[in-house]
Amino acid sequence: MSSGGPIVVVLSGSAGAANSPGNFSGSKAVPVDPPDPKPAHESRVLAPKDGTELVMARQRLTDWCWDAVAVWAHNLLNPESPWTPDELATRVLQDEGQIGESDDCSKMLNRCNVPEALDVALKATGNLDQTLPGQYLTFSSIVAQIKAGYPVGARIAWFGGGAHFVAVDGYRDFGALGQQVHVQDPLRGPGLLDYNVFVSNYPPGGSWNDTYLMKVAKPAESRVATGLG
Amino acid sequence: MSIIRSTTPPAKASLAVARALQVFLQPDLKPQDERYVGPQPSLPDAASLGLDLTSIDVATVEQHGPLGVYTLHLNDLSGGGIRAAVPTGWGFLVGDPKQGIILCTVAQQPVTGAWRLTSAYYGEHANNVFTAKDKLKSLAQTQTRSYELRILVIPAIHVEAFWLFDRSPSATDLVAVYVDGQRYVVPAGNPPSAATFLCSVEPRLQLAAASARRHGT
């Protein structure tokens, strides 16, 4: 069960303030409807035999947080058709015209080490349900997503420019003592953070700026169907 | 003999860490509701850090030397180089290195001025920071010159480093990186001066500054 990675824990004692964090700008809290019941074809693996499978791997390259988050999410939601970081980066960067159609990131890592968008990567894996630019989720909406079995992607915008992608895959509700979210970070490993701290000053140095809701990729969208497998 | 010095944090900052750990490390603290997409992670307790829950105090949390934490954002770099970094809190390495270390950070709340625990890293990250800090003692530069030890964070390029702050008239700050992007680094050899370090990461800083609105690194 142990992740073996770093755990981040924050206890706040910020009773009743879960939906009104301060100290950041540019984004707003939004509630979203609970996800629809999963279609019959969707196969979910919520608790693999080896829990370490669910720990997000450290990003392979300096600028590949988008790749690490999308690969982790896809392999969690669609374990029958896993992507590797190099394969997904190749696909995304080809589609975005950043490399040639015959280029392969596994053979040209330096050239492929570039920032990208998480929604583009999740669209490539078939796991993007909805992008919410300029918005972060209320704690109750995170609870609904997690209970339905879906992680939530988050873009952390650094206060002075630049950004980093992480995912929320769990929560702890202490009532009046505060609320925590479990965060998978491709640089710092898994961790628990106070919800208010996470949205306003993570890790510290940034705030939750954009949100990416996820879904299980349909067979037609999965990489098996693309012929890349 | 190493002459790296730690500075003394505000007493309330150390107290905030001690009190928060007394609560967090309690084995009986259970949430009302808890759920994960995957299996529940295991969290540290006092015993796993070689601590006695009933005796965690300011001395316990300051045992390994508190570190001032400074953050350097892209928009800080245009004036003053590394010394434009802004103090954002204090870091505390707590625990028995033979058993486990927890790296706590505290920050002062902007409105109330109260010190609050903002994060506590446990596991690989905390242990690597402790190991890297320990290595600083053996560096050649730290044998002959006195430095104040700080943590420098540059979020936009995923760099965390020890900032050896030189208070002498001919000040030459040094930077010993321990997290560089996706890699942990153990300081060795001769850490570069702050100016040399900033030159070495300038291309990455420029790339981060030019990053598109939707992108991330």
Average pLDDT of span A3-27: 45
Highest mean pLDDT range out of B9-13, B106-110, B122-126?
Answer: B9-13
Say which range, A172-176, B86-90, B127-131, B197-201, has the weakest mean pLDDT.
A172-176
Residue A48 to residues A82, B31, B39: CA-CA distances in angstroms? 14, 24, 8
Give, for A135, the enclosing helix (H) or strand (E): strand A135-137
Specify whether the backbone of A227 is left (phi greater than 0), alpha (psi in -120 to 50) or beta: left
Burial label for A158, CB within 10 Å (0-12, 13-18, 19+), is buried
Which residues of chain B are within 8 Å of residue A206 when distances are taken between CB atoms? 155
Which residues of chain B are within 8 Å of residue A59 when distances are taken between CB atoms? 181-182
Position with higher pLDDT, A180 vs A50: A180
- Residues of the domain holding B92: 6-214
Rounded to whole angstroms, how far apart are CA atoms B107 and B13? 8
Give the SS3 label for residue B34: strand
Q: What are phi and psi of A10, to 5 degrees?
A: -135, 130
Which residues of chain B are within 8 Å of residue A53 when distances are taken between CB atoms? 38
Number of neighbouring beta carbons within 10 Å of residue A96 = 14
Q: What tens digit of pLDDT does each residue of A79-96 get?
A: 999 999 999 999 999 999
Position with higher pLDDT, A203 vs A20: A203
Please indicate, yes or no, if residue B84 is contained in any of the structural domains.
yes
- pLDDT value of position A32: 84
Please indicate, yes or no, if residue B1 is contained in any of the structural domains.
no
Instruction: Give the residue from chain B lying closest to A204, CA to CA.
Output: B118
Strand partners, B95: B101
Burial label for A23, CB within 10 Å (0-12, 13-18, 19+), is middle
Number of neighbouring beta carbons within 10 Å of residue B109 = 12
Please indicate, yes or no, if residue B98 is contained in any of the structural domains.
yes
- pLDDT value of position B24: 78
Is the model's pLDDT at A44 over the cut of 50? Answer: no
Domain tally, chain B: 1
Which residues of chain B are within 8 Å of residue A150 when distances are taken between CB atoms? 37
Of B73, B75, B118, the CB nearest to A10: B118
Average pLDDT of span B27-48: 85
Q: Which positions ≥6 away from A131 have C-beta within 8 Å?
A: A119, A210, A211, A212, A213
Q: How confident is the model at residue A36 (pLDDT cuts 50, 70, 90)?
A: low
- Determine the distance in angstroms separating the CA of B5 from the nearest CA of chain A, rounded to an integer: 25
- pLDDT value of position A222: 62
Chain A interface, mutation test: which of B37, B74, B183, most A Cβ atoms within 10 Å?
B37
Judge: A186–B33 Cβ closer than 8 Å, yes or no. no
Is the model's pLDDT at B10 over the cut of 80? Answer: yes
Please indicate, yes or no, if residue B34 is contained in any of the structural domains.
yes
One DSSP character per residue, B98-165 reads: TTEEEEEEEEE-TTT--EEEEEEEESHHHHHHHHHHHHHTTSSHHHHS-EEEEEEEEGGGTEEEEEEE
Is the model's pLDDT at B215 over the cut of 60? Answer: yes
Residue B54 to residues A15, B17, B63: CA-CA distances in angstroms? 26, 14, 16
Judge: B33–A59 Cβ closer than 8 Å, yes or no. no
Which residues of chain A are within 8 Å of residue B41 when distances are taken between CB atoms? 1-3, 7, 170, 182, 190, 192
Please indicate, yes or no, if residue B28 is contained in any of the structural domains.
yes
Instruction: Give the residue from chain B lying closest to A179, CA to CA.
Output: B31
- Determine the distance in angstroms separating the CA of B207 from the nearest CA of chain A, rounded to an integer: 9
Q: What is the pTM of this model?
A: 0.82
One DSSP character per residue, B58-99 reads: HHHHTTT--EEEEE--GGGTTTTGGGGPEEEEEEEEEEETTT
- pLDDT value of position B133: 93
Q: What tens digit of pLDDT does each residue of B180-199 get?
A: 888 888 888 889 999 999 99
Rounded to whole angstroms, how far apart are CA atoms A92 and A106? 13
Rounded to whole angstroms, how far apart are CA atoms B127 and B133? 10
Judge: B121–A76 Cβ closer than 8 Å, yes or no. no
The answer to whether residues A119 and B214 touch, using CB atoms and an 8 Å cutoff, is yes
- pLDDT value of position B204: 85
Please indicate, yes or no, if residue B140 is contained in any of the structural domains.
yes
Judge: A143–B33 Cβ closer than 8 Å, yes or no. yes
Please indicate, yes or no, if residue B135 is contained in any of the structural domains.
yes
Say which range, A119-128, A210-219, B114-123, has the weakest mean pLDDT.
B114-123
Is the model's pLDDT at A51 over the cut of 50? Answer: no
- pLDDT value of position A186: 92
Number of neighbouring beta carbons within 10 Å of residue A28 = 9
Which residues of chain A are within 8 Å of residue B34 when distances are taken between CB atoms? 170-173
- pLDDT value of position A228: 42
Average pLDDT over chain A reads 81
- pLDDT value of position A146: 96
| pLDDT over 70, % of chain A | 76
Q: What tens digit of pLDDT does each residue of B160-182 get?
A: 999 999 988 888 999 999 998 88
Please indicate, yes or no, if residue B175 is contained in any of the structural domains.
yes
- pLDDT value of position A227: 39
Judge: B120–A63 Cβ closer than 8 Å, yes or no. no
Say which range, A21-25, B66-70, B79-83, B190-194, has the weakest mean pLDDT.
A21-25
- pLDDT value of position B29: 77
Q: Within 13 A of B95's CA, how many CA atoms are on the CB side?
A: 26
Chain B interface, mutation test: which of A49, A61, A63, A209, most B Cβ atoms within 10 Å?
A63
Instruction: Give the residue from chain B lying closest to A8, CA to CA.
Output: B121
Q: How confident is the model at residue B39 (pLDDT cuts 50, 70, 90)?
A: confident
Judge: A63–B207 Cβ closer than 8 Å, yes or no. yes
